[in-house]
Amino acid sequence: MNVVNLSLKAMLVGLAIHGWQARKYDRKISAEIAEQHAATADAGRFNKHLLPGDAGSYEAVHKKGRELRTFYYEKTLPWSKDGQRILPTANYETFSEGVRKFKREYALLAEDFIREYPILKEDARVLLNGMYNDMDYPTAEEMHAKFSVEIETLPLPSAADFRVTLADAEVARIQREIEARLQQEVAKANKDLWNRLRNAVDNMVNRLGNPESKFHDTLVRNLEDLVELIPNLNLTGDQDLEAVRAKVEEVLVVHAPQTLRDDSVLRARVAAQAKEISNLMDAYM
């Protein structure tokens, strides 16, 4: 596995989704509750909801943020504990187009919430009664700055980029350590792909293998999407992974979900084929 070449085939991306959280720790109420129950002051924390439970516009913008984060994880591979993930250049256009779409939708939903915010704030005044504190709420103008989406793009590091004024032997040692760490991170990314495919196949085994089990269309559609995505994420060119992916494409995602529901014989056959593929993956994982 040539990690130097991988730096030409992938980049690192980081995602930050900012949004206002309508929860607030109330120190005064927490102290009152502790005193009421003769407990120590640090026995618990009371967090109050700052908006009514039916604040649909608030929930909508945060739901869109969660959808964006799911998209981010689906289209990239794990890299480091710092939060960045690997984005293969083969998947760059799809990723960028998707992020732009999510950012637009997130911004529009944030505007919807901010327009409704003064009304929700007044409803909260009634709901919270004595617990209401105007200082807990940003102004409408301040709220605009609370919602944003940021994407950070960085080059995939390479041990060859390491340059310091040390003895040649020491530089070589450090470069070997960097190279080993890069190898580990890439191997982890590759394993993530195998796990995604294995989980989707095993899910099909479990659902289709039980004739009484109901399943949603997403059982097939999600596997179909993954089969289409893997070639763009398989940045190491893992031929075993590609062979298994091709097998899944050939036998598991060629039937419509409703056809599998209507034809019990076909359903049992596809479940058996899925089990065979799952067993095959044991040799590679």
pLDDT tens-place values along the chain, 285 residues long: 444 467 778 888 999 999 999 887 656 665 556 556 555 666 556 567 888 878 899 999 999 999 999 999 999 988 876 678 989 888 999 999 999 999 999 999 999 999 999 999 999 898 878 888 888 899 988 999 999 999 988 887 665 554 544 455 655 655 566 566 777 777 888 899 999 999 999 999 999 999 889 999 999 999 999 999 999 999 888 999 999 999 999 999 999 999 999 999 999 999 999 999 999 998 887
Give the pLDDT of residue 172: 63
Give the pLDDT of residue 165: 47
C-alpha span between 117 and 242 (Å, rounded): 50
pTM above 0.85, yes or no: no
Phi and psi angles of residue 211, each rounded to the nearest 5 degrees, phi first: -60, -25
Burial class (CB in 10 A: 0-12, 13-18, 19+), 98: middle
188 with 243, same domain?
yes
134 with 176, same domain?
no
Total number of domains constituting the chain:
2
10 with 149, same domain?
yes
**In the beta sheet, which residues pair with residue 77?**
86
130 with 164, same domain?
no
Place of tokens 């893997």: 230
CA 154 to chain centre: 19
Asked if 11 and 156 count as a contact pair (C-beta separation under 8 A), the reply is yes
140 with 172, same domain?
no
Q: Is 215 left (phi over 0), alpha (psi -120 to 50) or beta?
A: beta
150 with 164, same domain?
no
12 with 144, same domain?
yes
CA dist list (Å): 271 to 15, 187, 198: 38, 30, 14
151 with 163, same domain?
no
224 with 276, same domain?
yes
Domain that holds residue 53: 3-155
67 with 22, same domain?
yes
146 with 170, same domain?
no
Residue at a domain's end among 107, 122, 155: 155
Give the pLDDT of residue 40: 63
Give the pLDDT of residue 53: 79
Place of tokens 């990314």: 189
Residue at a domain's end among 132, 155, 178: 155
